[in-house]
Amino acid sequence: MKKSFITNLLVLLLIFSPSYVFADVAEGDVIITLGENLSKEQEKQILKKLDATDNTEIITVSNAEERKYLGDLIPKAQLGTRAISSSSITYMATGTGLDVETENINWVTDEMYLNALITAGVKDAKIKVVAPFQVSGTAALTGLMKAYEISSNEVIPEEVKQVANQEMVETAKLGDKIGSENAAALIAKIKEKVADNAPETDAQLRAIIEQAASEVGITLTENQIQSLIDLFNKMKELNIDWNQVGDQLDKAKEKISKFLHSEEGKGFLSKLKDFFISLFEAIKSLFS
């Protein structure tokens, strides 16, 4: 699915690496997760979308597994009673990074999956998240972490899973209020600043959050600020190597530059220029 410029930009900005290192897997290895409540026909449809072969390893994820990690974080109505969203992980060469692509997912965005998966320790893989119809996409994250544990033969610590899920949910909830693009941009800004100057106190973390919000151009409520303080404090407890965050952002800048010089990037900039010209002309006409 073709991403917009904004989504590509935010995905690139949201990359960072945790201190957890898991077992290596072979380049090209693929594992697919299926929502347990798909019909047989829907399973066939999903497996075709995910390019499954006779040799592809397939696992299922249940709604009960979703609730284990998300039950205390999001309303039951949002979580639902069925596991539908499905996914695939294709492992790529070391240093490739993560790429996330979604279809029929209406609550969890590409960059939210990417960020949460990196927090959980997943790296260097192409991720696809799909569903046969529009769904929130919560089952896919649980399935992806389960798939990574199986394929890497390593257990992701429970506290890491909890924080990864909380990060996804907090970003999505914030996105409901200020827009998903603003929410993702804000999280990226905070991470960048934490990487540059690791806060030692809640007051310092609050200052970083408020400055990031100002730069993104949004106003946060006290409850939203406190939720972000709580989230990043939990990340600090995971011993994430924040020194690596700046390095990842520097690498992302090169990718952004390449995109801006691509045909897609040039097309976006041209459309943006035309929009502002039209807007200026419309405003000018009001006074003529």
pLDDT of residue 276: 47
In this structure, the answer to whether residues 154 and 176 fall within a common structural domain is no
Give yes or no: residues 179 and 152 share one domain.
no
Q: What is the pLDDT of residue 11?
A: 35
Residues 204 and 154 occupy one common structural domain = no
pTM: 0.69
pLDDT of residue 244: 52
Sign of CA dihedral 168, 171, 176, 181: negative
Assess whether 82 and 205 both reside in one domain. no
Q: Is 65 exposed, middle or buried (0-12, 13-18, 19+ CB in 10 A)?
A: middle
In a domain, 262, yes or no: no
Q: Check whether residue 124 and residue 216 sit in a common domain.
A: no
Residue 25 lies in a domain: yes
**In tens digits, what is the pLDDT along the chain, a chain of 288 residues?**
434 433 333 333 333 333 333 345 688 899 999 999 999 999 999 999 999 999 899 999 998 988 887 777 776 666 678 999 999 999 988 877 778 899 999 888 887 887 778 777 777 889 999 999 999 888 888 888 888 888 878 788 888 888 888 888 898 889 999 988 788 778 878 877 887 888 999 999 999 999 999 988 899 999 999 999 999 998 888 766 565 544 444 543 444 344 344 454 445 445 444 554 455 555 545 555
Q: What is the pLDDT of residue 124?
A: 81
- The verdict on 109 and 194 lying in the same domain is no
Within its chain, how far is the Cα of 195 from the centroid? Answer: 18
Q: Are residues 25 and 103 in the same domain?
A: yes
Q: Is residue 28 part of a domain?
A: yes
> Is 280 within the bounds of a domain?
no
Count of structural domains, the chain: 2
The reply to whether 68 and 119 lie within a common domain is yes
Domain stop point among 123, 158, 193: 158
**Residue partners of 223: CB distance under 8 A and separation at least 6:** none
The residue segments making up the domain with residue 47 are 5-158
Q: Are residues 138 and 190 in the same domain?
A: no
